[in-house]
Structure 1
Amino acid sequence: MTKTDDPQRIELRHSDGSTSPLLVVEADHRDENRPAVLVLPGIAVGARYYLPLARALAAAGVDVAITELRGQGESTHRIGRRGGAAGYHESAAEDVPLALDAMRRTLGERPVVLLGHSMGAQIGVYHLARHDPRVVGLVAVAAQSPFHRGYPPQVGRRLHLGSVLLPVIGRVSGHVPGQFFGATGRIPADRIRDWSRLAATGVMQPERADVDYRAGLARVTVPALSIVIARDHLAPESAARGLLAMLPASRTSLELEPSALGHNGWARKPTEVVARVLAWMDREVAVSPSRDDDEVGDA
């Protein structure tokens, strides 16, 4: 059995007392020139869904960890009016650092690239605003800003309507059914309120924030890559560019994947996406033994 056959499971304990797994897939032959990767799932997608992606990256020498968002997959977070907060801020300020801490204990001191899918990339952008020196880049796959003006008019109108109605549903029931997003299960109301603010205004400032995220984003300089999947109406090129625009001082690039792999399906058949991620890493965030620690992180 190789390291990539079965992931190492680490239980993370969140501030609300809930737990979630961090799945670690180590490379059998680590490429020391490449950072590790932390995968941030999309809305209502469990961490285990991304194991084919993690194994493909590990086969190329990249250590990978996949975190579970609160209220998704195997998370024990209690969704509802009596549950703890589970918005974008909690993910960016508490949960991503918790996962990075566990990665450091397991893999050693390593620079890390955040690889976010859809909403996971939005959370990754929020985390960049906090200037964590461990994070040296962001890859956003099938990802977008949900700001309604970044979509074709018909879709944009539905998003704008949803940004009004869904918080009301969440306030009444404590959650929003995943069916609104083409998913299953329930989505924490806090997360939907933050999503709705983005969809309505394009403003990156979640509830309960302890920092000015917009000001923090203006100072981010780590590179970012967006990979747009062909015929993905949930994350079209225009909306993907909207997400990158939130990082005005970063070196950003956008690549169009011509294969219609699906908004979620690319993670199960990740060959094309992995090739793009590896090429970008080698161009933008390759680890050089001569680099100082100050040069690895964001200024």
Structure 2
Amino acid sequence: METVRVSMPDGTVTPVRLFDGGDGAPVVVILPGLGVPGGYYDLLAERLVAHGFNAAIGELRGQGDSRPRPGPSSRFGYHELVSVDLPAMFETVRLRFPESTPYLLGHSMGGQLGVLYAARVRRRLAGLILVASGSPYHRGFGGARSAGLLVGSAAMSMTANVAGFWPGDRFDVGGFGRQSKTLIADWARFARTGRIVPAGADIDYEERISRLTLPVLSVTVEGDDMAPERSVRAMLAKFPDADVTRWHEPERLGHNGWIRGSRGVVDRVAEWLHDR
């Protein structure tokens, strides 16, 4: 494994972890969920390499081994991550694997960001793999969970605005970790309205997403209460013309347990990739 440190315009340094699986093989770029460090996906990347693919793991700005941590001066949200950070990560991957076709595997919010990135770059991405990743729109969750998400997301956004950032290192709500107030506001707006309208957006993401036609593999996981079936359907409905394949991991591993606990997910991803 090789690590390349990428510098962002605001001074953030974010590592990209590279796993060599052979010249010319497709490369799967893994984007973590919010609050999950990139290193937690190492075993997933190694299993993909064992299946004959190259792999890379990006780090979300300010979490894991990325520095500095978000604070009152942080202003990045969904738009900055997909218009600044992801292009820099993918350029690093392209330089290391110049003959490899890139696929993006996004977990949780990493999948949401992957959809936005695909809408920006279109045909430069060969396909999307969304694992335990759906829309946070509160109506995609049942009963008390829906009401809790609606109220909770608003409370988190308000707290982040007052504090200047989301102090997830002190309040372990949702496992989000310490985050930019803009990112939390973007997520809370998505949870409240069901629409992806990031602060500072330079394009209509909803319109661009609706025109996606690339191959998509969507994987749900038994016991995942953060990306249940209705939540995933709500996300997939945003790109009706994409070539979507669905698969459900029957082992009860929940939202994060599949990352290290399931060979079934990796086997299914590898099978889907080999069919491209």
Which TM bucket (shorter chain)? over 0.9
Count of paired positions: 273
Structure 1 residue 105 displacement after superposition: 0.7
Counterpart of 2:28 in 1: which secondary structure? strand
Cα separation, 1, equivalents of 2:161 and 2:47 = 41
Counterpart of 1:103 in 2: which secondary structure? helix
Q: Which of residues 7, 11, 16 in structure 2 aligns to 1:17?
A: 11
Letter in 1 for 2:49: A
Letter in 1 for 2:26: P
Structure 1 residue 106 displacement after superposition: 0.7
Which consecutive unaligned segments of at least 5 residues does structure 2 have?
none
Counterpart of 1:130 in 2: which secondary structure? helix
Structure 1 residue 132 displacement after superposition: 4.0
Letter in 1 for 2:14: S
Q: Which of residues 145, 167, 173 in structure 2 aligns to 1:180?
A: 173
Cα separation, 2, equivalents of 1:278 and 1:187 = 33
* Aligned Cα root-mean-square deviation (Å): 1.4
Cα separation, 1, equivalents of 2:135 and 2:217 = 14
**1:1-299 paired onto structure 2 within 5 Å:** 7-27=1-21, 29=22, 32=24, 35-83=26-74, 85-178=75-168, 179-183=172-176, 185-283=177-275, 286=276
Cα separation, 1, equivalents of 2:231 and 2:246 = 11
Pick which of 51-60 and 152-161 moved more. 152-161
Letter in 1 for 2:239: L
Structure 1 residue 131 displacement after superposition: 2.7
Cα separation, 1, equivalents of 2:107 and 2:28 = 13
Cα separation, 1, equivalents of 2:57 and 2:175 = 22
Structure 1 residue 253 displacement after superposition: 2.3
1:52/1:269 contact within 8 Å kept: no
Structure 1 residue 202 displacement after superposition: 0.7
Identity of aligned residues (%): 39
Counterpart of 1:243 in 2: which secondary structure? helix
Cα separation, 2, equivalents of 1:249 and 1:193 = 29
Cα separation, 2, equivalents of 1:270 and 1:86 = 33
Cα separation, 1, equivalents of 2:231 and 2:130 = 12
Counterpart of 2:16 in 1: which secondary structure? strand
Q: Provide, for residues 1-26 of structure 1, a one-character-per-residue CA deviation record: whole Å limited to 9, x for no partner.
A: xxxxxx20000111211101000011
Residue in structure 2 matched with residue 293 of structure 1 by the alignment? none
Alignment CA distance shift 1:94-1:193 (3 Å): same
Q: Provide, for residues 80-123 of structure 1, a one-character-per-residue CA deviation record: whole Å limited to 9, x for no partner.
A: 2223x221111111111111100111111422111000010000
Cα separation, 1, equivalents of 2:174 and 2:48 = 28
Letter in 2 for 1:158: G
Cα separation, 1, equivalents of 2:99 and 2:234 = 33
Which consecutive unaligned segments of at least 5 residues does structure 1 have?
1-6, 287-299
Counterpart of 2:144 in 1: which secondary structure? helix
Q: Which runs of 4+ in 1 moved over 2 A?
A: 131-134
Letter in 1 for 2:160: G
Cα separation, 2, equivalents of 1:53 and 1:129 = 26
Cα separation, 1, equivalents of 2:242 and 2:140 = 20
